[in-house]
Amino acid sequence: MNVRKNSVTIYNPISGEIIPLDSVPDPVFSRKVFGEGLAIIPVNGEVYAPITGKVVHVSPSQHSIAMITEEGFEVLLQLGLETEELAGKGFDILVKPGEKINASERLGTFNLAFIEERGKEIISVLVFPNLKEKDGLLSVRSFGEVRVGVELAHVSNKK
Q: What is the number of H-type helices and E-type strands within the chain? A: 2, 14
| 39 domain residue, yes or no | yes
| 38 domain residue, yes or no | yes
pLDDT one-digit tens code per residue, 71-126: 999 999 999 999 999 999 999 999 999 999 999 999 999 999 999 999 999 999 99
pLDDT of the residue at 159: 62
Cα–Cα distance list, 152 to 17, 110, 136, 142 (Å): 11, 21, 17, 7
pLDDT one-digit tens code per residue, 5-49: 589 999 999 999 999 999 999 999 999 999 999 999 999 999 999
Per-residue pLDDT band for 2 (boundaries 50, 70, 90) equals: very low
Bridge-based pairing of strands 151-157 and 91-93 is unpaired
Cα–Cα distance list, 137 to 129, 131, 150 (Å): 12, 7, 20
Per-residue pLDDT band for 4 (boundaries 50, 70, 90) equals: very low
List, in order, residues 6 or more apart from 64 with CB less than 8 Å away: 57, 58, 76, 77, 78, 79, 84
pLDDT at 139 over 60: yes
Number of domains in the chain: 1
pLDDT of the residue at 158: 77
H-type alpha helices, 2-148: 27-30, 112-117
Across the beta sheet with 136-140, the strand order is: 7-11, 151-157, 136-140
| 1 domain residue, yes or no | no
Per-residue pLDDT band for 3 (boundaries 50, 70, 90) equals: very low
CB atoms within 10 A of CB 120: 19
Query: Domain holding 62: CATH number?
Result: 2.70.70.10
The CA R_g of the chain, rounded to the nearest whole Å, is 14
Range of the domain at 82: 7-157
| 96 domain residue, yes or no | yes
pLDDT of the residue at 6: 80
| 148 domain residue, yes or no | yes
Query: Hey, is 84 helix, strand or coil?
Result: helix
